[in-house]
A and B are shown apart, each in its own frame.
Chain A
Amino acid sequence: MYILQKDKNSESWVKKRIKYEEITKYMDNGKDFINEEEIFERLKKNKNPDKRKVKDILQKSLSIQTLSLDEVATLLNVEDENLLLEMEEVAKKIKKKVYDNRIVTFAPLYLSNLCVNNCLYCGFRRENKTVKRRALTLEEVKKETEVLAGEIGHKRLIVVYGEHPLTDVEYIRNTIETIYRVKVKTKKGYGEIRRVNVNAPPLSIEELKILKEVGIGTFQVFQETYHHLSYKKLHPQNTIKGNYLWRLYCMHRALEAGVDDVGIGVLFGLYDWKFEVMGLTLHTLELEKKFGIGPHTISFPRIEPAVNTPFTENSHYKVSDEDFKKLVVVIRLAVPYTGMIITARESAKIRREVISLGCTQTDASTRIGIGAYSERYNTQEAKRQQFLIGDTRSLEELIKELAEMGYITSFCTAGYRCGRTGKCIMDLLKEGKERWFCKLNAVLTFREWLDDFACEETKRIGENLIQKEINEIKQLLPAVYPQFISYYERIKNGERDIYF
C-alpha cells in the first residue's frame, strides 16, 4: 500500500526534487564554472605545443600538482609520437609514486532499474519498455551481498541506483545498512563488505547528510557531458536529470554535507572527448578552490550498446581506442593524486592496455543485471542491464592476469576506517606517503583473499608475488617491517581485517 501510494505521487516527487537555493549559492556571479568559451579558446591557443613546454608540464605532474586548464589543453594537443610515449611513461611513474603497484578491485551492485528520467543513451530510460523493471528487496540485497562477499570475495562495492521515488534516499540508506550487516563464513575466515561506494542521482544536502551517517565510502555522480547544449539535447528538459546545474553542483552539496570523498566522471561518446577532459579539469579545480578537496576518483566510461537504445550505436562522438588511451594518460597527468577507475565496460584487451597507464581501481566478476549475482546468470541479459559490458571475466582470472603484469590486487578499505579521508588522504597522496599504506594493506588483504577464495594455481601465483612484495617492504620500510610481518603472520593464522 505504501509503495502504491508513493508510486502514485511520483509526479509531485519529481517536482520537489530540485532545490534551486542549493545550486545558486555556489555559483559565481550567477554563472557556472564550465566556461565553454574558455575551454575552446585554450584548446585552440595551445595547438602544436612546444616540446620544452610539454616536458615542463610533465615535471609539474610528477611533483603531484594539479595542472591548469592551459596545461591540460597543451597535453591534449600533443600529436608527436615520442612525446606521447613520454607522457605514458610519466603517467606510469605517477601511478607508482602515489599508489604503488596495487590495483584495488570492487564490484558494481545494481539495486534498481526504476527511473523517472529519459536520457537518450540509457537502457534504463523511462520510455524504454523493453527493460524489465525491478528494485531489489532488502532480502534480495542480502542474498546478492552474500554471493559477492562470501563466494567471490569482494570487500568493496559500488552500489548503483536509478532516480525514482521507490528508490529514494530512504531506500538507499536501508540497502547500504543491509549490505554492511552481512557476514559470511569462508574457508579460513569470514567475508564481508567493508566499503560501500555509492553511484546515485544528485541528492540534496539534507539527503547527503543521511548517506554520510550510514558511513558510505565515495559518493559518485557523473556529469555525463559538461557541454551544455549536448546535455540539453540528451536529457529531456521535463525530467530531473534535464537540469544541468542540479547535477553539476552535486559534489559541492556533498562536500558541504560532510561527505568528503567524492567521485566525478564523464560518459565519453556524448560530446568531443577533449572538451570533456577540460570539463573534468575545471570541475577538479573548482572543488579544490572552494573546498580544498579534489575528486577522490575520476571515472571515464565509454558509451556501450544498450537494448532498444539506438543512440548508443550512432553517436558522432564515439571515442576510438587510441584516443581513449590518450585521454586516460592526460587525466592521470592532469590530476595526479586522484584514483582512476577503469571498468568492465571495456574489453579485456583494452583494460589490459589501459590499466598500466595510471589506473588505480577496476571491477571483476561483474554482473550489472538486477539480482544477477544471486540468480547466477552468467550470460549477459540485455533486458535486465543498463548496457552490455565488455569483460565478463571472474575476479580470479583478473587477479592472475594482474599478477602476470606485476600488479598486486588489493582489497584494502583501511583508509576510510581510520580517518584517512578527505583532505587528510589528499595530502598523503600528494606527498607520496599513501603509497606505503597501499603497499602494506595490499599484501595483507591479498593474503586474506588467497586463503579464503583462491584455487591452488592462483594461490601459487599470488604467493610468488607476495614474497616479492615482502622483500621490497623489508628493504624499503625497515622501521615498519617487524610490525608488518607480525600482522601478516596473524592473517595467515586466520585473523581478519588487520590493517595499517
Chain B
Amino acid sequence: MSEFTEKLIEKLNDFSHYCKEKYSVNIWFAQILGKRWSYIAGEKSSLPFPSVGVKLRNNLGIVIEETQGLSEEKRNLITSEAKKIINE
C-alpha cells in the first residue's frame, strides 16, 4: 500500500465528495490486483446502482456509479479529473 499514501487517499476522498456535490454521483477508488478491485477511498450510495470501473493506471481504478442522470461526457470528465489528481 506504500504508494497509496495517506495524502493521496485524502485527496481521493475529497474528490469523491466533490463529485457527489457537483455531479450527484458516487465514485470510489480501488487498487487493481488481478481480478480483484480492492477498495481504498471514496464513497458508495445507499442504492445499488450498477457501476463502471475505469483503469486510471496499472494498479489503480475509479468506479463510477451509472445513475440515470450521468452522461458519458460527465463520466469522461470525472475520469480525466481523477487522472490529474493522481498525477499531481
Residues of chain A at the chain B interface (Cβ within 8 Å): 177, 180, 194-195, 212-217, 258, 260, 416-425, 428, 431, 433, 436-437, 440, 477, 479-480, 482-483, 487, 498-500
Cβ-defined contact, A424 with B50, below 8 A:
no
Q: How many A-B residue pairs have CB under 8 A?
A: 87
Inter-subunit contact B47/A421 (CB<8 Å): no
CB within 8 Å of A: which residues of B?
1, 28-31, 33-40, 42, 44, 46-51, 53, 61, 63, 66, 68
Residues of B near A436 (CB, < 8 A) are 47-48
Say yes or no: B37 contacts A480, CB within 8 Å.
no
Q: Determine the residue in chain A with the shortest Cβ distance to B40.
A: A419
- New A-B contacts (19) at CB < 8 Å, excluding given A215-B35, A477-B48, A500-B50: A180-B34, A212-B38, A215-B33, A215-B34, A416-B37, A416-B38, A417-B36, A418-B53, A419-B38, A419-B42, A421-B37, A422-B38, A424-B28, A424-B44, A428-B44, A440-B48, A483-B50, A483-B66, A498-B50
Q: How far is B47's CA from A440's CA once the two chains are assembled, in angstroms?
A: 11
Per the bound structure, the CA–CA distance linking A477 and B48 in Å amounts to 9
Are A215 and B49 in contact (CB-based, < 8 A)? no
Q: Which residues of A contact B33 (CB under 8 A)?
A: 212-215
Contacting residues, chain B, for A425 (C-beta < 8 A): 39
**A500 CB to nearest chain B CB (Å):** 5
Q: Is the CB of A420 within 8 A of B66?
A: no
User: Do B49 and A258 touch across chains, with their CB atoms under 8 A apart?
Assistant: no
Select which of B40, B44, B68 is within 8 A of A420 by beta carbon: B44
Nearest 5 CB-CB pairings of A with B? A215-B34, A419-B30, A215-B36, A424-B39, A436-B48
Q: Are A213 and B48 within 8 A (Cβ)?
A: no
Q: A419-B28, A420-B44 are in contact. Are A195 and B35 (CB under 8 A)?
A: yes
Known: A418-B30, A419-B63. A499 touches B37 (CB 8 A): no
- Specify which of B36, B39, B40 is in contact with A217 (CB 8 Å cutoff): B36
Residue contact A418 to B51, C-beta cutoff 8 Å? yes
Contact A423 B48 (CB under 8 A): no
Nearest Cβ in chain A — how far from B65, in angstroms? Answer: 10
Interface centre among A177, A213, A420, A436, by most chain B C-beta atoms within 10 angstroms, is: A420
State in angstroms the CA–CA spacing of A487 and B33 once bound together.
26
